[in-house]
């Protein structure tokens, strides 16, 4: 999504078919909230609790601080130049065309593998009700259904995501309230054992050591993937100068409530030793509380959340391929829209790649989720690093007087971005250290080779594409 793509100085608003500026404040807010609540929390937290115990709460809080640094850095860039291409465009502007190309394609990869993770999670959720149905069958059915939905229309995207996010938020708040009720009034089957002391009385707050807790950071970071999706709405928001800062500034309380708060309540109600890999901690908690119907309802909610995220992934990947095509960095065929004004070819190709997740569910159903989340995390870390490095370079340009200051400066200037960069490199080191997740770095290395070859071919066939261009400012609102 280039700066020339949506409402540039040379084109009227809405000149690009399929892109609308119809996202109001409530929709941007809910997309931001929903982006921070996904399968990484609903399903991935189960395995991480088993590895780290109650200390997982601290890991989510620590990672949440870093995510806030990243989002404030992105926010400053967005209010300097609101573009729908967001971080890919800033990479192109501050680091050069190759980095914009690499970041756009890698973000596409991130959403493809995230879609695989969501399909895997959805299959696991259905397994709760129908244990005899193979995971790969369920994943394939959901893939086909969502593919059909994405080909119909993009006009209702903002409204649908608003309600999808509303379901997730309402369910999480309900779970927190019920958990607090169990702790306070002692009702239900878990009332006798529910206690704040559960956070430390089973081998302490770090029951398996600090090292084991740190190793969960890669899964924790996956839980925060898509929080940057609010940046992609910049070129489509009715009033980004107001809606984007508000959405970003509310991030700390969202993390405190939905991640730290929800996990704290659950681990007080149910001792951490009850949780295991492949089981949603929320479903498990309700089952142990003695409300089986509640567990079924929660299972339905988290199933909806997984399908919502996968749906967003299909939407985003199709659009990203169209952006790359408009930049001359992907086949021109991807820029064409169908009769229903959807980037049908881009969606189709993306869904075909998401189908690899169905194959993984057939070959290694017990490891499918772990494999795809590690690849998605690695791709997400690259995207976040590009945001942070672009922010550092932007701040240097502002200090030197080469660029105008943003109306939404990040606190501490570039200092917090440097801290976040070091943290992300540390998490990358943890991924390299862990034998199971290390495979994602091999995948990323192969991905880099493929993109490098693609760039060399582009440079030879169309040198103009690889030259640095002056950014175009947008008419927004």
- The rounded distance, in Å, linking the Cα atoms of 206 and 194 is 19
Helix (H, G, I), strand (E, B) or coil at 337: coil
Which residue matches tokens 């299959």?
A: 123
- The rounded distance, in Å, linking the Cα atoms of 170 and 158 is 18
Helix (H, G, I), strand (E, B) or coil at 237: strand
Q: Which two tokens stand for residue 181?
A: 């009720």
Lowest mean pLDDT among 16-20, 155-159, 222-226, 269-273: 16-20
pLDDT interval class at 477 (50, 70, 90): very low
DSSP string, 87-154: HHHHHHHHT-HHHHHHHHHHHHHHHHHHHHHHHHHHHHHHHHH-TTS-HHHHHHHHHHHHHHHHHH-S
Percent of the chain exceeding pLDDT 70 equals 81
- The rounded distance, in Å, linking the Cα atoms of 474 and 333 is 25
User: How many residues are recorded in the chain?
Assistant: 477
Q: Which two tokens stand for residue 246?
A: 């508000």
Nearest C-alpha neighbor of 469 from the set 100, 1, 102: 100
Helix axes 45-52, 281-289, angle to 10 degrees: 80
Which H or E run contains 333?
A: none
Which residue matches tokens 């299909």?
A: 314
Lowest mean pLDDT among 2-6, 54-58, 159-163: 2-6
- In this prediction, residue 30 carries a pLDDT of 67
- In this prediction, residue 54 carries a pLDDT of 92
- In this prediction, residue 417 carries a pLDDT of 96
- The rounded distance, in Å, linking the Cα atoms of 248 and 455 is 34
pTM of the model: 0.84
Query: 431 pLDDT exceeds 70?
Result: yes
Query: 418 pLDDT exceeds 60?
Result: yes
- The rounded distance, in Å, linking the Cα atoms of 403 and 421 is 23
Q: Give the CA angle between residues 353, 356, 358 to the nearest 5°.
A: 125
- Cα atoms in the Cβ-side hemisphere of radius 13 Å centred on 51: 20
- In this prediction, residue 13 carries a pLDDT of 39
Lowest mean pLDDT among 2-16, 123-137, 329-343: 2-16
* Residue 463 buriedness (CB in 10 A; 0-12 / 13-18 / 19+): exposed
Report the chain's mean pLDDT, rounded to a whole number. 80
Query: 18 pLDDT exceeds 50?
Result: no
Query: 99 pLDDT exceeds 90?
Result: yes
Query: 11 pLDDT exceeds 60?
Result: no
- In this prediction, residue 363 carries a pLDDT of 77
Query: pLDDT for 366-388, tens place per residue?
Result: 666 667 777 888 888 999 999 99
- The rounded distance, in Å, linking the Cα atoms of 319 and 148 is 16
- In this prediction, residue 427 carries a pLDDT of 92
pLDDT interval class at 470 (50, 70, 90): low
Helix (H, G, I), strand (E, B) or coil at 20: coil
| C-alpha pair distances (Å), 235 with each of 105, 391, 407 | 19, 19, 17
């Amino acid at each position: 999504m280039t700066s020339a793509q949506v409402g540039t100085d040379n084109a009227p608003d809405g000149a690009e078919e399929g892109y609308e500026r119809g996202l109001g404040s409530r929709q941007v807010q809910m997309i931001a909230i929903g982006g921070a609540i996904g399968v990484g929390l609903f399903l991935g937290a189960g395995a991480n609790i088993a590895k780290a115990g109650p200390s997982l709460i601290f890991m989510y809080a620590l990672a949440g601080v870093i995510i806030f640094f990243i989002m404030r850095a992105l926010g400053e860039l967005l209010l300097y130049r609101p573009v729908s291409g967001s971080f890919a465009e800033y990479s192109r502007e501050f680091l050069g065309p190759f980095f914009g190309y690499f970041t756009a394609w890698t973000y596409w990869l991130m959403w493809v593998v995230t879609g695989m993770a969501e399909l895997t999670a959805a299959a696991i959720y259905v397994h709760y009700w129908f244990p005899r149905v193979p995971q790969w069958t369920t994943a394939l059915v959901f893939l086909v259904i969502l593919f059909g939905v994405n080909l119909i229309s993009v006009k209702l995207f903002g409204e649908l995501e608003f309600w999808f996010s509303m379901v997730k938020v309402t369910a999480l708040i309900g779970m927190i309230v019920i958990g607090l009720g169990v702790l306070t009034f002692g009702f239900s089957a878990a009332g006798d054992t529910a206690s704040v002391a559960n956070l430390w009385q089973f081998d302490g707050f770090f029951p398996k050591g600090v090292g084991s807790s740190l190793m969960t950071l890669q899964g924790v970071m996956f839980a925060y993937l898509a929080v940057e999706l609010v940046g992609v709405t910049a070129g489509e928001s009715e009033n980004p100068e107001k809606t984007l800062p508000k959405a970003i500034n509310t991030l700390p309380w969202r993390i405190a409530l939905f991640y730290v708060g929800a996990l704290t309540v659950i681990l007080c109600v149910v001792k951490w030793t009850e949780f295991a890999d492949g089981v949603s901690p929320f479903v498990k908690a309700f089952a142990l509380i003695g409300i089986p119907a509640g567990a079924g309802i929660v299972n339905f909610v988290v199933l909806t959340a997984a399908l919502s995220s996968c749906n967003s992934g299909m939407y985003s990947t199709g659009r990203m391929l169209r952006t790359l095509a408009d930049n001359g960095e992907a086949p021109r065929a991807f820029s064409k829209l169908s009769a229903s004004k959807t980037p049908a070819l881009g969606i189709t190709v993306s869904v075909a790649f998401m189908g690899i997740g169905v194959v993984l569910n057939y070959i290694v159903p017990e490891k499918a989720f772990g494999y795809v989340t590690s690849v998605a995390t690695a791709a997400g870390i690259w995207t976040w690093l590009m945001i942070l490095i672009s922010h550092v370079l932007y701040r240097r340009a502002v200090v030197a007087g080469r660029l105008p200051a943003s109306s939404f400066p990040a606190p501490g200037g570039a200092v917090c971005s440097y801290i976040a960069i070091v943290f992300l490199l540390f998490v990358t080191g943890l991924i390299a250290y862990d034998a199971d997740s290390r495979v994602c770095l091999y995948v990323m290395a192969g991905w880099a080779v493929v993109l490098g070859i693609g760039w060399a071919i582009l440079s030879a066939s169309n040198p103009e594409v690889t030259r640095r261009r002056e950014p175009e400012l947008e008419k927004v609102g």
